[in-house]
């Protein structure tokens, strides 16, 4: 199977990168240089019309959106998501992934990049502050869930653990205090001990180093 992940450092493409490493998959990584507009080029838009990352190119064609990529990889590799016995159980797994992608992720974007939403320092500060407030109850939900076992699904690691770890990295990096969320903090620490996660973080760091060497690393306030 041929797999190529189109990614940008720090972006949510880190979620499938961690997943691929946990799966032990043989895959290539292609850096998408947003500052050069590579995401808007016709060849990229032909694969991902929304011009975003992640994009996973497979033998079957391009797969976009983290929820879809997670489900696709789980169908190819064992141990990435629980095996659903019923349609209802399958729907719950999809709901968990969608919670990260559709409910939490947009709040992360407003915390990290309010300039994508509004213009002006005062307006951006207001968007960021409201996002911080909106994140608090979501963080409590995640913290409570992670307090019930070692991983999102208890004793079994899954893609959900990659997603909530990426969220933790993004929000704490934006100044959100993790002090009240001890279970989530412990989960993040446990993630960083996993060899597959360490490999993914190293690859992500290489992408960042490449951008910095090329003078293409974004600088946000």
Q: Residue 219 domain-assigned?
A: no
Percent of the chain with pLDDT over 70: 99
Same domain, 48 and 69: yes
**What sign for the dihedral angle of Cα 178, 176, 66, 100?**
positive
192, 151 Cβ separation under 8 angstroms = no
Same domain, 171 and 207: no
Convert the pLDDT of each residue in 118-131 to its tens digit: 999 999 999 999 99
Q: What is d(CA 76, CA 34) in angstroms, rounded to the nearest whole number?
A: 30
Convert the pLDDT of each residue in 158-202 to its tens digit: 999 999 999 999 999 999 999 999 999 999 999 999 999 999 999
Give residue 117's pLDDT.
94
Q: Residue 51 domain-assigned?
A: yes
Instruction: Work out how many domains the chain is built from and give that number.
Output: 2
pLDDT at 112 over 60: yes
Within 10 angstroms of residue 185's Cβ, the number of other Cβ atoms is 16
Give residue 1's pLDDT.
84
Convert the pLDDT of each residue in 31-73 to its tens digit: 999 999 999 999 999 999 999 999 999 999 999 999 999 999 9
Q: For all residues of the chain together, what is the average pLDDT?
A: 97
pLDDT at 218 over 80: no
Return the CATH number at 72: 3.40.30.10
Same domain, 91 and 190: yes
Taking residues 70-99, report their average pLDDT: 98
Q: At what angle do helices 159-173 and 182-191 cross, to 10 degrees?
A: 110
Return the CATH number at 166: 1.20.1050.10
pLDDT at 219 over 90: no
Same domain, 171 and 200: no
Give CA torsion, residues 143, 149, 154, 159, to 10 deg.
40
């Amino acid at each position: 199977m041929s797999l190529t992940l189109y990614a940008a450092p720090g972006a949510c493409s880190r979620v499938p990168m961690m997943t691929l490493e946990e799966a032990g998959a043989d895959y290539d990584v292609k850096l998408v240089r947003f500052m050069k507009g590579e995401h808007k080029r016709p060849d990229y838009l032909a694969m991902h019309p929304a011009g975003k990352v992640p994009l996973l190119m497979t033998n079957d064609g391009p797969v976009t959106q983290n929820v879809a990529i997670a489900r696709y990889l789980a169908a190819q590799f064992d141990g990435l998501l629980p095996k659903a016995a019923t349609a209802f159980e399958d729907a719950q797994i999809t709901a968990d992934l969608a919670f990260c992608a559709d409910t939490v992720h947009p709040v992360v974007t407003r915390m990290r990049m309010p300039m994508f939403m509004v213009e002006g320092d005062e307006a951006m500060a207001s968007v960021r502050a409201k996002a911080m407030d909106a994140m608090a109850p979501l963080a409590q939900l995640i913290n409570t869930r992670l307090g019930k076992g070692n991983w999102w699904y208890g004793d079994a690691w899954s893609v959900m653990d990659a997603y909530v770890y990426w969220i933790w990295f993004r929000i704490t990096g934006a100044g959100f205090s993790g002090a009240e969320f001890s279970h989530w903090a412990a989960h993040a620490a446990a993630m960083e001990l996993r060899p597959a996660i360490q490999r993914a973080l190293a690859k992500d760091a290489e992408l960042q180093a490449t951008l910095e060497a090329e003078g293409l690393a974004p600088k946000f306030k």
